[in-house]
Amino acid sequence: MTGDRRAASRNASLLKRLRFWLRGALWHRSWFMAPILAWTYRCNFGHWPNPFAPTRFNEKLFVRMAFDRRPLLTRLAGKMEARAFVAERLGRDDQQAALLGVAYAPGDVAALALPARYIVKASHASGLVRIVTERDPIAPANLAALVESWLAQDYGRYTLEWCYRRVRPAVVFEALLDRDGAPPSDVKLFCFDGRVAYFQIDSARFTGHTQSIFDRDGHWLDIQVKDYPRDAVPPELPALLPEMIDAAERLSAGIDFVRVDLYDLGDRFLVGELTTTPQGGSGYFKPARWDMVFGARWTLPGWRVLRG
C-alpha cells in the first residue's frame, strides 16, 4: 500500500505540473482565453459579449483582452517600459516621479540607497504597491522578501491580461509624491484615437477613496464605476487641466484607446501610468447606459491589426 500511495502521489504531482505547464503554454492563446474571459464578462454584466460587433466599452475591453496581441500593449503595461515610452513621446524625462532604483532580483535591494519616504511598485502587475514612510518603515530583509514575492507573481496569467505577458518582472522604487502632506489626486483621462473624451478624478485613494467623472469640457457626470463612491459634490478641477489634456493627447496619439493616468500636484503634474485594460474589463457603469456611451467613442482596429 505504501508503494501504491507513493506512486499515486507521484502521479498527482506530475499531473499538477502538467496542468501548470499547459496553462502557462496556452493562457495567452485566444482560443484558450476567450471562453474564460467571456464567462467572466457574463458574470459581471449579466449577458454574453459580442466579439464580432461589440458596442459597449467593456465589450471592447473584452475583445482587447481576448484577441488583441499588439506589442504596443505590452510596452504600455510595464511600468519600466511605459516610462521609456512617456519620455520618448513627451521629449523629456522630468514628467514622471523620480526613479530611485529598480530590482530585478531580491539581491538588488541591498545596493539601493533609499530615502526614508518612497513608494514601491511592481512593474509587471497592477495593484502591487507599498508606501514606505517614517511612520511605516520596512526593514531591509522584509523589503527583499517583498520584492522576491512580487517578482514570483505571474499577474497576467492570473488576470488573463495578455498585455502583461512579456513584461519583464521588476520592482520599481520611486519618490513618494505628496500635495499638502497627502497623496495627490489621480486624474485619469480616457483617450480615444488621440483625443480626450472624459476624465476621472480619484481623491483620497488610501483613506476615503472617492471618484468623479467629467466630460472633456469639465461637466460633472452622473456616473459611478463599480462600487467606488461618487463625490457628494464635484471636486475642484485641476488648475492645469488644459495642459493635462494636451499631454494626454500627445501620449495617446495613434492609439485607439488608452487611459492616461496623471498625478495632480497643483502647480505641476506627473505621468503615473498608461492603462489599456481599466478594471481588467470588469468596471460596470452605473447607470449602465454609459457603457454604450463610452463604447461609441472607441473604434477598434481591424482583426489583422489586433493580431499584431
pLDDT of residue 64: 95
pTM (2 d.p.): 0.87
Regions of the chain where pLDDT drops below 50:
1, 22, 25
pLDDT of residue 125: 93
Q: What is the pLDDT of residues 20-75, one digit of tens each?
A: 554 554 555 656 788 889 999 999 999 999 999 999 999 999 999 999 999 999 99
pLDDT of residue 6: 64
pLDDT of residue 4: 60
pLDDT of residue 1: 47
Q: What is the pLDDT of residues 184-199, one digit of tens each?
A: 999 999 999 999 999 9
pLDDT of residue 209: 82
Whether 123 contacts 169, CB under 8 Å = yes
